[in-house]
Amino acid sequence: MSGLPFTLIGAATTSLEPLYVWTQAKTEAKAIIVLLFITSIVVWWMMIFKVIQMRRARKLNAFFGDEFTAQKTVLEMYDRKLQVDGCPLYAVYQVGCVQLDARLRGPTGERAKQQISLKNMEHIKRAFENVVAKESLKLESGLILLAIAVSGAPFMGLLGTVWGVMSTFAGIAQSPQGASLAVMAPGVSGALATTVAGLLVAIPSMFGYNWLVHNLRTFTVELDNFAQELVSKMETEFLGEE
């Protein structure tokens, strides 16, 4: 039982270590830690938002893919006015069908033509390229914040550490007490806290960024493949021989 009080004191001291380090940190170190904390909130919000966005896009793509596979003609879903808002594949399909439909209609507005020329098909292909790039950029938006956090947070933490250690040594040099572990430890621990804060921001951002980039590449390949498949079906049904 004699060791119990010391155990409790040690546990209490350990639980109060972050608070002690915070109180010993210099003003500039506290400012950097607060900035990194705000950055961490923004980074986590962005990662959660992008995960939800990509999961929703994947679910909508699966739904649209089933509908597209089941249709007999390219324009069947377009004529049925099927709407799948937020679906990247649907955005590609809609743009392509709008371009194709415009070239099949005559001066009266009726869909009188049954075939289109190779030149018109090239225009539709360029429209596909534009919408694929646009949808890829839409999915990619926000990733720059994670990239900045991955590369910038450790350097911000290092800046706070170097600055804090410099201030600590400058204070010791001007102190009549001289250098000792008891004098140096509080300032150094407060300075090192900024490096820890920087790593706590950078490490989750790195994993989140890599995961999101991998999924983004998958989506981009899926969009490219779908656009090529759609072009092939349009050429089979509507491209005339010149």
**Residue 139 is encoded by which pair of tokens?**
């999915």
Give the integer Cα–Cα distance in Å for 113 and 238: 9
Burial classification of residue 198, based on how many CB atoms lie within 10 Å of its CB (0-12 exposed, 13-18 middle, 19 or more buried): buried
Domain ranges of the chain: 25-238
242 residues of the chain, pLDDT tens digit each: 444 444 434 444 444 676 767 777 777 888 888 999 999 999 999 999 999 999 999 999 999 988 888 888 888 888 888 888 889 999 999 999 999 888 887 666 676 677 888 888 899 999 999 999 999 998 888 899 999 999 999 999 898 888 888 877 777 776 666 555 555 666 677 778 888 889 999 999 999 999 999 999 999 999 999 999 999 998 888 876 65
Amino acid identity for residue 2 in this structure = S
Give the integer Cα–Cα distance in Å for 84 and 142: 23
Give the integer Cα–Cα distance in Å for 242 and 237: 15
Residue position matching structure tokens 């250690």: 165
Give the integer Cα–Cα distance in Å for 195 and 43: 18
Q: Considering Cα of 26, then 28, then 29, then 30, what sign does the dihedral take?
A: positive
Q: How confident is the model at residue 107, as a pLDDT?
A: 65
**Residue 240 is encoded by which pair of tokens?**
């005339």
Q: What is the 3-state secondary structure (H, E, C) of the chain?
A: CCCHHHHHHHHHHHHCHHHHHHHHCCHHHHHHHHHHHHHHHHHHHHHHHHHHHHHHHHHHHHHHHHHHHHCCCCCHHHHCCCCCCCCHHHHHHHHHHHHHHHHHCCCCCCCCCCCECHHHHHHHHHHHHHHHHHHHHHHHCCHHHHHHHHHHHHHHHHHHHHHHHHHHHHHHHHCCCCCCHHHHHHHHHHHHHHHHHHHHHHHHHHHHHHHHHHHHHHHHHHHHHHHHHHHHHHHHHHECCC
Whether 159 contacts 194, CB under 8 Å: yes
**Residue 239 is encoded by which pair of tokens?**
């491209």
